[in-house]
Amino acid sequence: MRLSHVTTQTSSFAEEIDFYATYAGLAIQRDMRPMGANIVFLANAEGDTQIEVIDNPDAADSGNANLSVGFVSEDLDALHATLTADGFHPTDYVSPMPQVRFFFVKDPAGVNVQFM
């Protein structure tokens, strides 16, 4: 068994897609908008675990404080600086052991995203 996807419902549909494309480097793998559903699946490549974004105008966009989605970044410092410059509020770096360093930032739907 493998993890297929993680779903986020948001009232910030376009912004959510742009966030994962811009900062996590994901591309749309499946787009259901031409079939009349505002649902998009993003991933690094076909067959990879996906982020499913569903347009829901009634979504609270408050995320879940106990859930996060994690990504490995090629340049953590540059990404932190870019997110900050683009108006996001990444946390300070966390380093629970010398070889591990990461930070969190909320996506437009309020989901905690960890970059390491």
| Predicted local distance difference test score (pLDDT) of residue 110 | 96
Overall number of domains in the chain: 1
In a domain, 62, yes or no: no
Using only C-alpha atoms, what is the Rg of the chain? 14
Segment holding 19, helix H or strand E: helix 13-23
Q: What share of the chain has pLDDT > 70, as a percent?
A: 100
Q: Is residue 8 pLDDT above 90, yes or no?
A: yes
Is residue 61 one of the residues assigned to a domain? no
What digits encode the pLDDT tens for the residues 72-87?
A: 999 999 999 999 999 9
Residue 79 domain boundaries: 5-56+68-115
Check: CB of residue 9 under 8 Å from CB of residue 23.
no
Percentage helix, strand, coil, to 5, in the chain? 20, 35, 45
Residues 41-66 have a mean pLDDT of 93
Mean pLDDT of 62-81: 94
76-85 and 13-23 helices, crossing angle to 10°:
150
The answer as to whether 19 is a domain residue is: yes
Residue 63: the pLDDT is 86
Does position 56 have pLDDT exceeding 90, yes or no?
yes
Tell me, yes or no, whether 72 lies in a domain: yes
